Amino acid sequence: MIYLNGEFMPIEKAVIPVLDRGFIFGDGVYEVIPVYARRPFRLGGHLARLQASLDSIRLKNPHHDSQWQKLIERLIELNESDDQSLYLQVTRGVAKRDHAFPETVTPTVFIMSNPLMPATADQIENGVGAITAPDNRWLRCDVKSTALLPNVLLRQLAADAGCAETLLLRDGMLTEGSASNAFVVSEGVVLAPPKSNLMLPGITYDVVLELAQANDVPLEVRNVSESELRGGEEIWITSSSKEVLPVTTLDGKAVGKGRPGPAFRRMHGLFQDHKAQLRRTANG
Least Cβ distance, residue 283 to ligand PDD (angstroms): 25
Is residue 166 a contact residue for ligand PDD (CB under 6 A)?
no
Catalytic residue among 13, 60, 70, 144: 144
Is residue 179 a contact residue for ligand PDD (CB under 6 A)?
yes
Is residue 202 a contact residue for ligand PDD (CB under 6 A)?
yes
Cα distance between residue 56 and residue 134, in whole Å: 25
Phi then psi for 255, rounded to 5 degrees?
A: -90, 120
Site for ligand PDD in 237-276 (CB under 6 A): 238-241
144 is known as an active-site residue:
yes
Counted residue by residue, the chain has a size of 284
In DSSP terms, which residues pair with 184 in a beta bridge?
A: 191, 235
Is residue 181 a contact residue for ligand PDD (CB under 6 A)?
yes
Residue 274 CB partners (closer than 8 Å, separation 6+): 207, 211
Is residue 61 a contact residue for ligand PDD (CB under 6 A)?
no
Residue 281 burial by Cβ neighbours in a 10 Å radius (0-12, 13-18, 19+)? exposed
Least Cβ distance, residue 49 to ligand PDD (angstroms): 7
Least Cβ distance, residue 119 to ligand PDD (angstroms): 12
Among the listed residues 84, 91, 108, 204, the single contact to ligand PDD using CB under 6 A:
204
Is residue 119 a contact residue for ligand PDD (CB under 6 A)?
no
Where does this chain touch ligand PDD (CB under 6 A) — which range of 11-19, 183-191, 198-206, 225-233? 198-206
3-state secondary structure of 245: strand
Least Cβ distance, residue 85 to ligand PDD (angstroms): 8
Least Cβ distance, residue 104 to ligand PDD (angstroms): 30
Cα distance between residue 11 and residue 27, in whole Å: 22
Is residue 40 a contact residue for ligand PDD (CB under 6 A)?
no
Residue 277 CB partners (closer than 8 Å, separation 6+): none
Cα distance between residue 81 and residue 93, in whole Å: 30
Contact in structure between 219 and 192 (CB atoms under 8 Å): yes
Contact in structure between 199 and 175 (CB atoms under 8 Å): yes
Is residue 32 a contact residue for ligand PDD (CB under 6 A)?
yes
Is residue 175 a contact residue for ligand PDD (CB under 6 A)?
no
Among the listed residues 90, 185, 203, 244, the single contact to ligand PDD using CB under 6 A:
203
In DSSP terms, which residues pair with 236 in a beta bridge?
A: 183, 246
Catalytic center residues: 144
Residue ranges binding ligand PDD (CB under 6 A): 32, 151, 176, 179-181, 200, 202-205, 238-241
